[in-house]
Amino acid sequence: MNRRLGFLEAVGASTEGALEEVGGLAVLLGESLGFLLQCRLRLGETFAQAYFLGVGSWSIVILTSLFTGMVFSLESAVQAVQYGVGSLVGGAVAFTSARELGPMLSGVVVAGRASAAIAAELGSMVVTEQIEALDALGISPVRMVVLPRIVALVVMLPLLTILGDVVSIAGGMWLAKQIAHIGYASFLQSARSSVHMSDFLLGLVKAAVFGIIIALVGAYQGLRTKGGAAGVGQSTTRAVVSSIILIFVANFVLSYLLFGYHR
Amino acid sequence: MSQIHARLEGVSLAYGEKRVLVDCNLDIVQGAITCVIGLSGAGKSTILRLLNGLRRPTAGRVLVAGRDIASLAGRELADFRQQIGFAFQFSALFDSLTVFDNVALPLRETTTLDERAIRGKVETILASVGLTDAAQALPAELSGGMRKRVGFARAVIAQPTMVLYDEPTTGLDPVMTRMLTDTIRSLQQRDQSTVVVVSHDRESIYAMADYIAMIYEGKILAYGSLEQIRASTDPYLLQFLHGNPEGPMHVV
């Protein structure tokens, strides 16, 4: 009986914690949007964050997209040629890259880098009283440090996703030629006939949502930091884990809604 | 009769089970320097945070310039805080900004002054705390005493009516301690502001205080002018001011 109660208590506590986190994220997003609607965005800081969080992530996005596109092509091209449908490989690679692989890969790798960086920076600002100093000066920490990071990632993650899409398709195309002797023209023709512009654009919408998630979760965990260096480490870990989980959940929901599966 | 700028009325505050302040009453005289003294962990810094609205009392009222600061929230509280400067114990400088930008930040973010006017004000205040040459340095390049002075400059740049200093001389050598004490006094005289200083340092307290309040076990144990406190025979006060481990105070 006691063990069952303990289990129920643990489930209750986890649910309460999750709801508290969702509520906190919603409040933070609401405050940020409020400042954005008042046109009180700090442009200089936003450009600096766009460079640090976005431009600084291009190499890992290229590497992960290249190899993922190549491995997807490797698996599909060999099978497709065996069944005599090699002409479909380009479409499969491009379709998957535009809708799923591009935004997801960019989201996850940027989450690992940017969410951790945001949580660590803001967590350090909390433990060194810099956030409290902003409050004491009558300056909103949300406007100063959260909003620029959200806007930076909402702009930069779709751009990184375009880069990831292109590299992933190019990698897949090169490998299909090497492994299954599928010509570039045939690959591109298949890609063009299978993928519409809306697939790319909706993939970019997903990326923008992932950008909000990464910045928001990183900032939320950073601002909740308690204690010293150990607290910053815990916030950083929580930020990465939470943002990646939320990206996967959001990806499913967005795919279901955006690509018309709910109709 | 001295005018009262801020007042704690029956203030209690607890962090979970730990009671920090218990039915605490304190008057802060306008245009004077009030030093709050007491053992480590007695709740001195908490009083500063209550006066700025960074903490809310669990009971009682905190009145600043006649307004109950605990009743303010959001934009109203942020606007009200612009009348209150706060110099943090460890300075809390923004480490990605230069000294100049740290000091200019309150003016840039909370006023409509143009950049030329801001530059003039920042240069003046940096000169008055002796940091003209360090304007373009980053906080990481400064000594402890310099960081404290940047924190002071940032706290007073918008000429608030009340300035709060949290342990401004802790951990510094006697020469720097004297320099910072003189800086606090000269900034207060320049702006005619109300100042509250939390400190352990007997010499700097004697050098700058107009009024002294001693806090013990969450209550104000003694309060009076500098002369009254120096003449007091209260055994708690004597034990603290003489740094005696033996006495009526329970030292943990």
Closest to B230 measured CA to CA, from B217, B244, B212 = B212
**Pair B115, B128: CB distance under 8 Å:** no
Report the relative pairing of strands B33-38 and B194-198 from DSSP bridges: parallel
**Pair B204, B35: CB distance under 8 Å:** no
For A27-45, write each residue's pLDDT tens digit. 999 999 999 999 889 999 9
**Pair A198, A6: CB distance under 8 Å:** no
How far is Cα A97 from Cα B37, in angstroms, rounded to an integer?
Answer: 65
For the entire predicted model, the pTM comes to 0.87
How far is Cα B54 from Cα A205, in angstroms, rounded to an integer?
Answer: 39
For A238-250, write each residue's pLDDT tens digit. 999 999 999 999 9
Going A234 to A240 to A244 to A247, the CA torsion angle's sign is positive
Across chain A, mean pLDDT equals: 92
- Would you call B81 and A137 a contact, using CB atoms and an 8 Å cutoff? yes
What pLDDT, on the 0 to 100 scale, is given for residue B197? 97
Q: Is the pLDDT of residue A1 over 70?
A: no
Torsions phi, psi of B198, nearest 5? Answer: -95, 125
**Pair B123, B83: CB distance under 8 Å:** no
- Would you call B82 and A138 a contact, using CB atoms and an 8 Å cutoff? yes
For A177-215, write each residue's pLDDT tens digit. 998 899 999 999 999 999 999 999 999 999 999 999 999
Q: Identify the three-state secondary structure at position B59.
A: strand
- Hey, what amino acid is at B221? L
Residue A263 belongs to a domain: no
Q: How far is B208 from chain A (nearest CA, A)?
A: 24
DSSP state of A183: -
Closest to A177 measured CA to CA, from A259, A83, A95, A70 = A70
Task: Compare CB distances from A136 to B81, B90, B93 and report the shortest one's residue.
Answer: B81
Q: Is the pLDDT of residue A139 over 70?
A: yes
- The number of C-alpha atoms within 13 Å of B98 and in the hemisphere containing its C-beta is 12
Per-residue pLDDT of chain B (252 residues; tens, 9 = 90+): 579 999 999 999 998 888 999 999 999 999 999 999 998 888 999 999 999 999 999 999 999 999 999 899 888 999 999 999 999 999 999 999 999 999 999 999 999 999 999 999 999 999 999 999 999 999 999 999 999 999 999 999 999 999 999 999 988 888 889 999 999 999 999 999 999 999 988 889 999 999 999 999 899 999 999 999 999 999 999 999 888 888 888 776
What pLDDT, on the 0 to 100 scale, is given for residue B1? 58
What pLDDT, on the 0 to 100 scale, is given for residue B9? 95
What pLDDT, on the 0 to 100 scale, is given for residue A260? 73
Residue A122 belongs to a domain: yes
Torsions phi, psi of A110, nearest 5? Answer: -70, -35
| Number of domains present in the structure of chain A | 1
A133 touches chain B (CB under 8 A): yes
What pLDDT, on the 0 to 100 scale, is given for residue A21? 87
State which residues form the domain around A207: 2-258
B80 touches chain A (CB under 8 A): yes
- What's chain A's Rg over C-alpha atoms? 21
Place of tokens 């940091």: B131
What pLDDT, on the 0 to 100 scale, is given for residue A263? 62
- Would you call B88 and A144 a contact, using CB atoms and an 8 Å cutoff? no
**ipTM above 0.95?**
no
| Residue of chain B with shortest Cα separation from A144 | B109
Interface test with B, best of A27, A38, A137 (most B CBs within 10 A): A137
Q: Is the pLDDT of residue A262 over 70?
A: no
B141 touches chain A (CB under 8 A): no
Q: Is the pLDDT of residue A261 over 80?
A: no
Cβ atoms within 10 Å, residue A33:
12
- Would you call B88 and A135 a contact, using CB atoms and an 8 Å cutoff? no
